[in-house]
Amino acid sequence: MEKTIDEKKQGNSLVMEPQAKNTRKLFIESYGCQMNFSDSEIVASILSKEGFNTTQKLEEADLVLVNTCSIREKAEQTVRKRLEKYNAVKRINPGMKVGVLGCMAERLKSKFLEEEKIVDLVVGPDAYKDLPNLINEVEEGRNAVNVILSKEETYGDVSPVRLQTNGVSAFVSITRGCDNMCTFCVVPFTRGRERSRDPQSIVEEVNDLAAKGYKEITLLGQNVDSYLWYGGGLKKDFKNATEIQKATATNFAGLLKLVAEAQPKMRIRFSTSNPQDMTLDVIEMMAKYRNICNYIHLPVQSGSDRILKKMNRLHTREEYFTLIDNIKKLIPDCGISHDLITGFPTETEEDHKDTLSLMEHVKYDFGFMFAYSERPGTMAERKFEDDVPEEVKKRRLQEIVDLQQKHSRYNTEKFLGKTVEVLIEKESKKSDAHWSGRNSQNTVVVFPKENYEVGDFVNVKVQDCTSATLIGEPVGYSDNN
């Protein structure tokens, strides 16, 4: 999944319902992509069976874990600052243990444990089931590390604990790892090769969430479109599968169908898609089922064929346009968002103009836009010089952001006067008299509370908008309640 830091979710400390029998306290924070937030729920579930309840008070924790991201330098710097804070608290509470989870753990294992001695345990994304053993090691006075990447682990048998949830929307992990070796990305090295989770366990988790009152799920993976279940094992080994395994395999379109039919009133989203793997049958499945949201996050990274090739993106500009055109033909009101990196090594003004012209063609609803920062361990770091000056990166990024603002406004204005279905998620940040939720296209909608409640599906007539938010009046419950 290519989406990087969602600034709104960056550094959330997570809390679950306490178990009366548990006596130890766990403080867990997550940084980075949605996958990390989903993984933290798995960790909390595993540790709740080991006597840990979560807490929001760092000072009272017996165990402090930070789930980390390596995708951007800023994320790593933020985590280092947090580790300094943890260690300041540790001086007051010497019994407290500190651990690093996730991608940064895998990448910097020896540095954290041996050189800097700032943590007690280091656990990679495939080793969370080993946490009870690792904690025992630490309690016996030894440093503990497990960053071994797995060919099988999907955590399909762990029922995640929903942390600090609104009780309305939840993440459901469907794949782990990634086989796409984009030259700017560290994920294949920190999360391993791609493998998919048993569709039956996914449907069971979705059914369980529906029974608990959840109204929306997001199917999560580094690259959901390459989901492929043929009985277990790595995606790359599918070529060696038996004929019966190949004939009965489930792809992503098949999984969408299973989930959509299992819970017809539950909204279904997914993230993240990859242009080279998204197939027409996925778009057709979205068009067929009303409960699959009309929204696709479709990272492009650059509009220049030359830069795309240098990034090892296995799609061209034209192939991306064909995909966008198919989406707009089959789902005319589909919301589309992007990831874009500007200032990749050797990027010229011509390449930059190609990116701007691609944006003009697509007119994205919103996006995640970044200036390139070299990530240790990636192919780009090993092979290319980071040769675009910082001031050029900043200027190009600003031009991309300005154009996106214009397109975002263009897209929100299209809703003026229309009625949209909104799932109420929370109180509006700006007014305690208003609810906030999202429509099918993933656009935030704000409207007066009246007698509606969190979790209701409400029809809202849009009367005003900003570039990011629709503002309207409720006109009644939708037929989805």
* Cα 38 to Cα 272: distance, rounded to the nearest angstrom: 14
182 is an annotated ligand-binding site residue: yes
Of 67, 132, 107, the closest CA to residue 191 belongs to: 107
For Cα atoms 341, 38, 154, give the angle at the middle one, nearest 5 degrees.
100
CB atoms within 10 A of CB 66: 26
Secondary structure letter of residue 111 according to DSSP: I
Cβ–Cβ < 8 Å for 43, 128:
yes
Burial class (CB in 10 A: 0-12, 13-18, 19+), 433: exposed
**Distance set, CA 460 to CA 123, 226, 253, 290, 442 (Å):** 46, 36, 31, 18, 14
Instruction: Show the tokens assigned to 39.
Output: 């993984």
Cis? peptide before 355, omega within 30° of 0:
no
Of 124, 102, 125, 99, the closest CA to residue 112 belongs to: 99
Contacts of 384 (CB under 8 A, 6+ apart): 183, 310, 345, 346
- Say which amino acid occupies 342: T
178 is an annotated ligand-binding site residue: yes
334 is an annotated ligand-binding site residue: no
Q: CA-based diameter of the chain, in Å?
A: 65
465 is an annotated ligand-binding site residue: no
Contacts of 276 (CB under 8 A, 6+ apart): 180, 313, 314, 315, 319
CB atoms within 10 A of CB 210: 15
**Distance set, CA 95 to CA 12, 13, 50, 130, 250 (Å):** 24, 20, 17, 21, 48
* Cα 249 to Cα 241: distance, rounded to the nearest angstrom: 10
* Cα 26 to Cα 46: distance, rounded to the nearest angstrom: 12
Q: Measured in whole angstroms, how far is the alpha carbon of residue 358 from the centre of its chain? A: 24
* Cα 200 to Cα 1: distance, rounded to the nearest angstrom: 22
293 is an annotated ligand-binding site residue: no
69 is an annotated ligand-binding site residue: yes
Cβ–Cβ < 8 Å for 459, 440:
no
- Torsion, Cα of 202, 205, 207, 213 (10° steps): -140
- Residue ranges at the known binding site: 33, 69, 103, 178, 182, 185
Residues within the annotated binding site for [4Fe-4S] cluster?
Answer: 33, 69, 103, 178, 182, 185
